[in-house]
Chain A
Amino acid sequence: MLPTMTCWELVNRIHSMLDERHKDAMDEGVITGGDDDAVTGILVANEPSVEAIRFAIETGKNCILCREHPFYLYGEYLSVGLADALADDPVFKAKRQMIEDHHLIVIRLAALWDTARPKWFSSALARELGWQPEDGRPGDQWTTVYCNIPRTTLLDLANFASARLRAKVLRMVGDPHLPITRVAVIHGFAFPTLVLHHALQDPAVNCIITGNTPEVDHCTTYIRDTITAGRSISLVQVGYEKSDYPGAVELTRWLRSVLPGMPIEVQPPVAELCWFA
């Protein structure tokens, strides 16, 4: 059993074990709680939602390790001005009160995972889909992983991914009958367009599977234009949460290995938020 670990010691240990230190991205790092707060248990939850907070409280965890921001400040692309706009918002205030009442520590480390182990979350998604991701080249910092898969069609691949991930709200771009043999897997929010462009540098890739992309500006239109330009390519969006959950499971396993004795749990899978009209 470890002696009590403070928040600062936890963050320091994670950085040390990953051998990666950098300045936090916008709105990342220790979001709530203090450096000297004792960590009694960790819940890994990509989205530090009210549901996740309730689960942490019920299971005696006072620290949530997450990819997203508890108060919706995703990052520079989407969140400029949002903190001020939320100042008097009832949802923000109720959630903040809940966190304060239970003295919860919320630590957001998305950029750290993607910098120290860029293939981690995408590889986890690929494995969840039953595929074997290829090892990246040394120094490859892209989060994209590549998999050769048994020949199928885009429609059949979408049906397969839907069943495998228990996701119903999938959206696709491309010919449903397009033969698929090689997939680029990109977890989460695939942005900006350069990320998709990079995936297409592999000429054999005929499908990109990801969580979500911007639609009109950037990525989805880029794929549509690429198809018109003559490339046999397609895009499958499985949903942001669904694409990141396998990574949270593997991250939890890793944390248990580097923090023996610390109670660590991953949030159980949450129900898909959306449904089609």
Chain B
Amino acid sequence: MSISRRKFGQGVGATMLLHGGLAHSYAAAPAQLTAQQVAQRILNKVAAEGVNFKFPGLDTDTFKYGDPSTPVTGIVFTFQATFDVLKKTVAAKKNFVISHERMFWEQLDDLRTLRHDAPFEPAGSLETEGVFLAKRKYCEENGLVVWRFHNHQHLLKPDPIMATLTARLGWQQYVVPVQGQMIGFAYAIPETPLREVARHVAQSIESRDVRVIGDPNLPVRRVGIGAHKLIEILKPLQTNDAVLMSEPQDCDAFPYLRDGIALGLPHPKGLIAIPHERFEEWAEQDAPAWLKPLVPEVPIEFISAGQPYWTLPA
């Protein structure tokens, strides 16, 4: 008796199901994988690469909202779980957000304030704040779970945040190691005026919000890199022609630069201040591809948090 290929294929399929194929497919069903399991796979991979994060009381990488035992329908990587990102996650039919930055506007997603200067702090708490409650309610109504992947992500080798930024800048060949600094490398670039370096940075990260301090004609051969506070960029400022800095605060690093330049000292000379999101989001854009081999069971995508500011036309 002859049998068509189609009937043969159907028969093979039925045999697979009956001989354990069905059990196998149930075990791999996306609905069974929980947020906790995804987070643990990530942390296991990080540990397997030799990263051992031990900063008691300072671990940012915890669940920020939702039940970790929630089955995952899909994963979103993002720079920051803003309210807008949460809404886009729901629209994309996913329920687990892995966010690099904090969700609720305070250190470690806690709502504490300062201690020493507490008498000068404004009184009150954000725990009953309308937007805070609305964001939490939205997560609850939509079954969202949010986990922060910050400190462990930075400890990967190489740091994907720095690697992807370097790739955006097209400066991979210019990377030189440095010792004793928070970020252990700088860029030794062909001599370029500061205004051109800054323009290149702005174009590479697709942002008009790139603020520069220093003589536009300053010859730049070496670019340091640092983040957020003067204490964190002090050494790069002392050893480079210009420093690429993520989200400075005007009242902190800027006065130091104003003085250094006014004094005419060899350093500091220049600063290129870029938005935090533009500095770090590129790694989250690449993160789905990084995670997929670890978590093949569910869809993974990147959703941009977007740039915070717009500027007036030049």
**Interface of A toward B, CB cutoff 8 Å:** 22-23, 25-26, 47, 49-51, 54, 68, 72, 74-82, 85-86, 89-91, 94-95, 111, 114-115, 141-142, 158-159, 162, 168-173, 176, 188-189, 192-195, 197-198, 211-212, 214-222, 224-226, 228-229, 231, 237, 239-241, 273-277
**Interface of B toward A, CB cutoff 8 Å:** 80, 82-84, 87, 101-102, 105-107, 113-117, 119-122, 124-126, 129-131, 134-135, 195, 198-199, 201-202, 208-213, 216, 229-231, 234, 238, 247, 249-252, 254-260, 262-263, 265-268, 272-273, 275-277, 308-312, 314
Q: Say yes or no: B247 contacts A162, CB within 8 Å.
A: no
Known: A90-B267, A188-B251, A217-B105. 18 other contacts (CB 8 A): A25-B119, A72-B230, A80-B231, A82-B230, A90-B238, A91-B268, A159-B312, A168-B312, A216-B102, A217-B106, A220-B308, A222-B105, A224-B308, A225-B135, A228-B84, A275-B212, A277-B199, A277-B208
Q: How far is the CA of A168 from the CA of B314 in the complex (A)?
A: 9
Q: A189-B250, A214-B249, A217-B102 are in contact. Are A198 and B124 (CB under 8 A)?
A: yes
Q: Say yes or no: B255 contacts A68, CB within 8 Å.
A: yes
CB-based A-B contact count at 8 angstroms: 207
* Nearest residue, chain A, Cβ from B262: A50
Q: Say yes or no: A277 contacts B201, CB within 8 Å.
A: yes
Q: How far is the CA of A189 from the CA of B248 in the complex (A)?
A: 12
Q: Say yes or no: B262 contacts A273, CB within 8 Å.
A: no
Q: A221-B105, A229-B83, A276-B211 are in contact. Are A94 and B311 (CB under 8 A)?
A: no
Q: Say yes or no: A50 contacts B131, CB within 8 Å.
A: no
Question: Of the candidates A22, A78, A198, which one forms a contact with B251 in the assembled complex, judged by CB atoms under 8 Å apart?
Answer: A78
Closest 7 CB pairs of A and B: A277-B198, A240-B250, A228-B83, A171-B309, A277-B210, A277-B202, A50-B262
Q: How far is the CA of A49 from the CA of B258 in the complex (A)?
A: 7
Q: How far is the CA of A198 from the CA of B121 in the complex (A)?
A: 13
Q: A25-B117, A277-B212 are in contact. Are A221 and B82 (CB under 8 A)?
A: yes
24 contacts between A and B (CB under 8 A): A26-B116, A54-B262, A76-B114, A77-B117, A85-B234, A89-B234, A91-B256, A170-B311, A173-B309, A189-B250, A189-B251, A192-B122, A193-B105, A193-B106, A193-B126, A217-B107, A225-B131, A226-B131, A231-B131, A273-B213, A273-B254, A276-B208, A277-B210, A277-B211
Q: How far is the CA of A79 from the CA of B273 in the complex (A)?
A: 19
Q: How far is the CA of A168 from the CA of B311 in the complex (A)?
A: 9
Chain B residues contacting A189 (CB-CB under 8 Å) are 249-251
Q: Say yes or no: B265 contacts A94, CB within 8 Å.
A: yes
From DSSP, what is the main secondary structure of chain A's interface residues? mixed
Chain B residues contacting A228 (CB-CB under 8 Å) are 82-84, 87
* Nearest residue, chain A, Cβ from B199: A277
Q: A22-B119, A78-B230, A229-B135 are in contact. Are A212 and B249 (CB under 8 A)?
A: yes
Q: Say yes or no: A85 contacts B231, CB within 8 Å.
A: yes
Question: Of the candidates A25, A47, A82, A239, which one forms a contact with B120 in the assembled complex, judged by CB atoms under 8 Å apart?
Answer: A25
Q: A95-B263, A169-B211 are in contact. Are A216 and B114 (CB under 8 A)?
A: no
Q: How far is the CA of A276 from the CA of B268 in the complex (A)?
A: 19
Chain A residues contacting B82 (CB-CB under 8 Å) are 221, 224-225, 228
* Nearest residue, chain B, Cβ from A214: B249
Q: How far is the CA of A198 from the CA of B126 in the complex (A)?
A: 10
Q: Say yes or no: B249 contacts A115, CB within 8 Å.
A: no
Q: How far is the CA of A171 from the CA of B209 in the complex (A)?
A: 8
A87 CB, min distance to chain B CBs, angstroms: 11
* Nearest residue, chain B, Cβ from A215: B247
* Nearest residue, chain A, Cβ from B113: A192
B192 CB, min distance to chain A CBs, angstroms: 13
Q: Say yes or no: B212 contacts A197, CB within 8 Å.
A: no
Chain B residues contacting A78 (CB-CB under 8 Å) are 229-230, 249, 251-252
A214 CB, min distance to chain B CBs, angstroms: 7
* Nearest residue, chain A, Cβ from B194: A277
Q: Say yes or no: A82 contacts B231, CB within 8 Å.
A: yes
A190 CB, min distance to chain B CBs, angstroms: 11
Q: Say yes or no: B260 contacts A91, CB within 8 Å.
A: yes
Chain B residues contacting A231 (CB-CB under 8 Å) are 131
Q: Say yes or no: A274 contacts B213, CB within 8 Å.
A: yes
Q: How far is the CA of A114 from the CA of B130 in the complex (A)?
A: 27
Q: A72-B230, A192-B122, A197-B126 are in contact. Are A216 and B276 (CB under 8 A)?
A: yes
Q: Say yes or no: A275 contacts B251, CB within 8 Å.
A: no
Q: Say yes or no: A222 contacts B131, CB within 8 Å.
A: yes
Question: Of the candidates A91, A195, A277, which one forms a contact with B122 in the assembled complex, judged by CB atoms under 8 Å apart?
Answer: A195
B125 CB, min distance to chain A CBs, angstroms: 8
Q: How far is the CA of A159 from the CA of B263 in the complex (A)?
A: 34
